[in-house]
């Protein structure tokens, strides 16, 4: 699965780190390939934002990797492209080579029943805001990743 946001320095590396942490906790590491990318290219090569890294570290979650831009090839390499917000999903739909690829695009928060019930499916962009925004991202992506993992679990070996 590929987590996708705009810059690949705040939300999607956070979602990737949270999912890696959950997989490790459950002894499921290696069972699912996870990565993250951005629809934009401005931060390519950059490490995750230190505000995101710091907030995650306080919860025992390590953020890794260097930002990269999503490409059409990612629709072949991954079964699921998880957009952080509806703009990211729209941009992925534009990039998708065909309808089969387009069907791989989902909003991450679709996997959080509370978010679905509230009709709040975006993970808000924390980049221009304060520290609260980064805590919010961690809360939202953790709930959604837990829901996603619960849905996938019956298909995993252990
Ligand atoms: P992200 O946050 O999409 O969660 O990585 C952003 C990072 C950088 C910018 C926007 C959002 N930017 O405009 O540079």
- Catalytic residue list: 5, 11, 125
pLDDT level of residue 158 (50, 70, 90 thresholds): low
**Number of domains within the chain:** 1
Domain with 129, as residue range(s), is 2-155
Atom of ligand 1 nearest to the CA of 13: 5
Residue 16: CB atoms within 10 A of its CB come to 26
pLDDT tens, residue by residue, 69-92? 999 999 999 999 999 999 999 999
CATH number at 90 reads 3.40.50.2300
- For the chain, give the percent of residues with pLDDT over 90: 96
Q: What is the dihedral of CA 87, 91, 94, 98, to 10 degrees?
A: -100
Whether 32 contacts 76, CB under 8 Å: no
Measured CA to CA in angstroms, residue 146 lies from 19, 49, 70, 136 at distances of 8, 23, 24, 16
Say how many Å lie between the CA of residue 155 and the centre of ligand 1. 33
User: Atom 7 in ligand 1: which residue has the minimum CA distance?
Assistant: 7
pLDDT level of residue 156 (50, 70, 90 thresholds): confident
Whether 48 contacts 65, CB under 8 Å: yes
User: Atom 10 in ligand 1: which residue has the minimum CA distance?
Assistant: 7
């Amino acid at each position: 699965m590929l987590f996708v946001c705009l810059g690949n320095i705040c939300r999607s590396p956070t979602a990737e780190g949270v999912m890696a942490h959950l997989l490790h906790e459950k002894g499921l590491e290696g069972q699912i390939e996870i990565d993250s990318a951005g629809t934009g290219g401005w931060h390519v090569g950059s490490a995750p934002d230190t505000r995101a890294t710091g907030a995650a570290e306080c919860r025992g979650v390590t953020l890794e990797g260097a930002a990269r831009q999503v490409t059409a090839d990612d629709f072949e390499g991954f079964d699921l492209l998880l957009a952080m917000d509806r703009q990211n999903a729209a941009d992925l739909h534009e990039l998708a080579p065909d309808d089969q690829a387009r069907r791989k695009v989902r909003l991450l928060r679709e996997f959080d029943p509370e978010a679905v019930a509230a009709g709040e499916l975006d993970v808000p962009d924390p980049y221009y805001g304060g520290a609260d925004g980064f805590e919010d991202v961690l809360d939202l992506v953790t709930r959604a990743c837990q829901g996603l993992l619960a849905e996938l679990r019956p298909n995993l070996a252990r």
